[in-house]
Amino acid sequence: MAAAPVLQSWDQIKGNAGDWSAILIGNGASMNVSSTFNYQTLLERACTMENDDRLNDVDRALFLAIKTVDFELVLAHLRYALVVGTVTGATNPYMQQLEAQYTRIRRALAAAVRGVHPPHKKIGEGRLKQLGQELVKYKWVFSTNYDLIVYWAAMTVGIENFYDYLGGKPCRFRRENIAEAPENKTKLLFPHGALHLYVPEGEFTGMVHKRVNDEYNILDQLLFFEDAPLIVAEGSPDDKKKVIYSHRYLTFAFEQLGKVRDPLVIFGSNLGSSDEHIVQELVPKGRRIAVSIRGGGDEASKTMARMQYVLAEAGEVIFFSADSHPLGNPALTVA
């Protein structure tokens, strides 16, 4: 019988520079900067937005019926309903209603993230610099977050220290970007997309582009420009993979999770049921994995036991307190 997992501090396990050379960042890191990224706040925003993306009465009733504020869980239920409807021969109007609802909730999530996002000035150069100084220590940074915090942090300490495989004019993902990746820069990838990524209509249709600070900052571009952000907000792992594999950039970013065998820190992600596709890329790889845990007591013990089971095929799994890590520093929280 496996020994009960122990919660340590980051200082106890971080070792020497380079001992942990890859990091996977989840929503917990963003929530440490701003609590507006929690699902309760996002749902409230999605219900009150003054635009076509606002959730309607039926959408809100669905969240209440499932007793959740988790968008991905609701989307998963809708996807299951569509599968059942297809198999049982449900009427076209019913199936069209479900499809429309699925699309509306996905769009509402993206719009809500954009709507609650703290402006660059509110987060401040100081916080972003602290985050960026930590990120640049890693050889590989993967973020499954949609928000701009990781990208802004990289820019604050010098985007020239990072390599995101997006470049040229227009700034987009090209096959040659992979071969040109420099050894001495931190690789930065967003396998679930993010607000600064988009797929434009027209000449470069289907190719993932990056918004750059030009006449408008990135948050303003989300309000003024028609190109919707590229985010993978599907409810189930299989549906997420379908979207990922429909874009060359997302495919590359996602597959690098499995190809990179470096010791990995997982910060701010609980690897829930909607993340099974991520887990499949992480194990079995025989790599060492360090997982951040928020809080303590029985709840933390339960989370560690579940994560130990989920990552059972890894070479070694250890746990550390989230607030002992630079990305979990309580001083980073925006008032």
pLDDT at 74: 87
pLDDT in tens, 239-259: 889 889 988 999 999 999 999
- Give 191-201 pLDDT, tens digit per residue: 999 988 988 76
Residue extents of the structural domains in the chain: 7-34+121-195+233-332, 40-116
Phi first, then psi, for residue 215 (nearest 5°) are -75, -30
Query: Could you tell me where the DSSP H helices lie in 185-275?
Result: 218-224, 237-244, 248-259
pLDDT of residue 198: 85
pLDDT digits (tens, 9 = 90+) for 65-122: 998 888 878 888 888 899 899 999 988 989 999 988 888 888 888 788 888 889 889 9
Cis peptide before 170 (omega within 30 of 0): yes
User: What strands, in cross-sheet order, belong to the sheet with 166-167?
Assistant: 166-167, 172-173, 209-210, 193-198, 229-231
pTM (two decimals) = 0.86
- Tell me the average pLDDT of the chain: 88
With CA atoms as reference, report the closest residue to 219 among 169, 272, 151: 151
Whose CA is closest to 159, among 194, 143, 135?
135
* Cα 233 from Cα 74, distance rounded (Å): 11
- For residue 121, give both structure tokens: 């000035």
Strand extents, DSSP E, the chain: 7-8, 22-25, 140-143, 162-163, 166-167, 172-173, 186-189, 193-198, 209-210, 229-231, 264-267, 288-293, 316-321
- Stated as kind and residue range, the H or E segment containing 106 is helix 92-116
Report pLDDT for 330.
94
The values of phi and psi at residue 208, to 5°, are -75, 125
Sorted by sequence, the CB contacts under 8 Å of residue 261 that are 6+ apart come out as: 285, 286, 287
Q: Output the pLDDT for position 164.
A: 95
Reported confidence tier of residue 301, pLDDT bands at 50, 70, 90: very high
Question: Contact, 31 vs 40, CB < 8 A?
Answer: no
Reported as a pLDDT band with limits 50, 70 and 90, residue 204 is low
Q: For domain 7-34+121-195+233-332, give the fold.
A: Rossmann fold (3.40.50)
- In the chain, % helix, strand, coil (3-state, to 5) comes to 50, 15, 35
Q: Quote the tokens at residue 245.
A: 């594999």
Per-residue confidence band for 296, with pLDDT thresholds at 50, 70 and 90: confident
SS (H, E, C) 48-80: HCCCCCCCCHHHHHHHHHHCCCCHHHHHHHHHH
Cα separation, 276 vs 105, in Å, equals 21
With a cut of 70, say whether residue 215 has pLDDT above it.
no
pLDDT of res. 29:
95
What percentage of residues in the chain have a pLDDT greater than 70?
A: 93
